[in-house]
């Protein structure tokens, strides 16, 4: 444990940010899984994909995901949607 007052504060701030980032990332994963399930099921996939892409963009804007990672994940979802429509 740090002895300096500012270092103690940084530990608390880091813990809060870690918890917030973890919550956002968990929500993102859940939303993406729901979108993938909707694609597999074939019902309500447009809305689920739209919400998942929105969550990915929000995580990217907050710095939780790198912009290329966000683009790759969005592309992956759309490819799954398009392949499910063709099949």
pLDDT of 85 reads 81
Token representation of residue 79: 């490819």
What ranges do the domains of the chain cover?
Answer: 5-86
Q: CATH assignment of 5-86? A: 1.20.58.110
Residues of the chain where predicted confidence (pLDDT) is lower than 50: none
Q: What is the pTM of this model?
A: 0.87
Residue with tokens 């899984």: 33
Q: Which residues contact 74 (CB under 8 A, 6 or more apart)?
A: 53, 56, 57
Residue 59 near residue 26 (C-beta atoms within 8 A): no
Contact 35, 77 (CB under 8 A): yes
Q: Give the per-residue pLDDT at 35.
A: 95
């Amino acid at each position: 444990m740090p002895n300096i007052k500012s270092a103690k504060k940084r530990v608390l701030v880091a813990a809060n940010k870690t918890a917030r980032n973890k919550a956002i990332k968990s929500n993102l994963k859940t939303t993406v899984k729901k979108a993938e399930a909707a694609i597999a099921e074939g019902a309500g996939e447009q809305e689920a994909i739209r919400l998942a892409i929105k969550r990915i963009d929000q995580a990217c804007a907050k710095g939780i995901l790198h912009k290329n990672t966000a683009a790759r994940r969005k592309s992956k979802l759309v490819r799954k949607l398009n392949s499910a429509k063709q099949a």
